[in-house]
């Protein structure tokens, strides 16, 4: 879908050379929400801008959809590729002199392809992002969250296969952030979109992403599924990020140094509604203390427990027999 191989991007400005993206290789799987996280200056915004060539890389190869080595595309192919990629921005980037409807239609209208069919499509999109009744309002009358909804509708008018989100919620409050993320999740699954989302906020990643790439100083330092990043982070940058939202299991284990047999369990989605723990506790007369538990967006359960029993191995075996995965037990 989207692949980067050994991509470099350097900015040269007055006596200052910034290596924004360094030797990045990366794959974004189709039909997923792929998060890119890092502190400011980590190169994440540059990385997402390379996908539709708002920035042009200096070295390496990027393939998007059926287009290979997009840096070498001619103008017409680039225009076609860009029509398959929608993008939303931190500051919404709406046209203040146009109404909501005109903004949503703009990507079509600017190419001189206005038609009744497209106007109807714009009305439907405005409906589906929850802005019915605001078609003829100008953006300055809308709240931040509503502006981003217009941005989303505009990004979808060409029926793109890819949606790029550059810090889509960084200018919004917590409640609105949640609403916008829900909307992104909803349209992703309805339209089988591939979403690439850049953020500095681990909460956002935790809410919507299936896969996560962690960037630091232009490098990809860690890359994996959301579960891997949340619960088996290896790189210190990732650990800082997960700790910030209370997900650093190692840290929690360290804070409970006196407890025996600390074990990280994973409950695959088909067993999360079973009463496994209480069954095992009753059968083996063990004490199992839960130190941390959470359910990820993909409906997997993750739990850090301390097993207080004379036969801890038997407890683990019993858990495994019930479909629980022992992720780690050497704390």
Q: Which of 110, 190, 257, 330 binds other proteins (CB under 8 A)?
A: 110
Nearer to other proteins, 54 or 281 (CB): 54
Nearer to other proteins, 169 or 263 (CB): 169
**Beta strands 211-216 and 85-88, pairing class:** unpaired
Number of Cβ within a 10 Å radius of residue 169: 27
**Minimum distance from residue 186 beta carbon to other proteins (Å):** 22
Nearer to other proteins, 161 or 219 (CB): 161
Nearer to other proteins, 60 or 107 (CB): 107
Are 260 and 286 in contact by the 8 Å Cβ rule? The answer is: no
Are 42 and 238 in contact by the 8 Å Cβ rule? The answer is: no
Residue linked to tokens 């974004």: 28
Tokens of 29: 């799987």
C-alpha 34/C-alpha 196 separation (Å) is 5
Residue 17 sits in the site that holds other proteins (CB under 8 A): no
Residues 6+ apart with CB under 8 A from 116: none
**Minimum distance from residue 74 beta carbon to other proteins (Å):** 13
User: Going residue by residue from 33 to 62, which x/- string records binding to other proteins, judged by CB under 8 A?
Assistant: ----------------x--x-x--------
Q: Which of 1, 65, 138, 325 binds other proteins (CB under 8 A)?
A: 138
C-alpha 21/C-alpha 12 separation (Å) is 13
Binding site for other proteins (CB under 8 A): 13, 49, 52, 54, 78-80, 82-83, 85, 87, 89, 91, 93, 95-98, 106-107, 110-111, 138-141, 158, 164
């Amino acid at each position: 879908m989207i692949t980067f191989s050994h991509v470099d991007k350097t900015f040269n400005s007055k006596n200052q050379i910034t290596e924004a993206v360094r030797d990045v290789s990366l794959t974004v799987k189709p039909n997923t929400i792929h998060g890119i996280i890092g502190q400011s200056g980590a190169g994440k915004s540059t990385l997402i801008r390379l996908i539709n060539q708002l920035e042009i890389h200096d070295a390496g190869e990027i393939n998007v959809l059926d287009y290979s080595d997009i840096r070498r595309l001619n103008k017409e192919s680039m225009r076609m590729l860009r029509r398959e990629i929608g993008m939303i921005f931190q500051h919404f980037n709406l046209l203040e002199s146009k109404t909501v409807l005109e903004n949503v239609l703009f990507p079509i209208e600017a190419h001189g392809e206005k038609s009744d069919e497209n106007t109807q499509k714009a009305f439907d999109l405005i409906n589906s992002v929850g802005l019915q009744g605001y078609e003829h309002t100008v953006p300055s009358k809308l709240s931040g969250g509503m502006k981003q909804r217009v941005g989303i509708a505009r990004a979808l008018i060409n029926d793109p296969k890819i949606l790029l989100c550059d810090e889509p919620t960084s200018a919004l409050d917590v409640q609105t952030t949640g609403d916008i993320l829900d909307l992104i999740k909803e349209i992703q699954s309805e339209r089988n979109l591939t979403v690439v989302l850049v953020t500095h906020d681990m909460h956002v990643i935790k809410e919507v992403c299936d896969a996560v790439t962690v960037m630091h100083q232009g490098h990809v330092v860690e890359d994996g599924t959301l579960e891997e990043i949340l619960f088996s982070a290896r790189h210190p940058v990732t650990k800082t990020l997960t700790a910030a939202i209370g997900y650093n299991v190692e840290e929690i284990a360290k804070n409970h140094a006196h407890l025996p047999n600390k074990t990280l369990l994973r409950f695959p989605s088909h067993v999360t509604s079973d009463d496994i723990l209480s069954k095992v506790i009753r059968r083996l007369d063990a004490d199992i203390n839960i130190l941390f538990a959470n359910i990820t967006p993909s409906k997997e359960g993750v739990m850090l427990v301390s097993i207080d029993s004379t036969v801890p191995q038997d407890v683990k075996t019993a858990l495994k027999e019930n479909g629980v995965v022992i992720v780690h037990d050497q704390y």
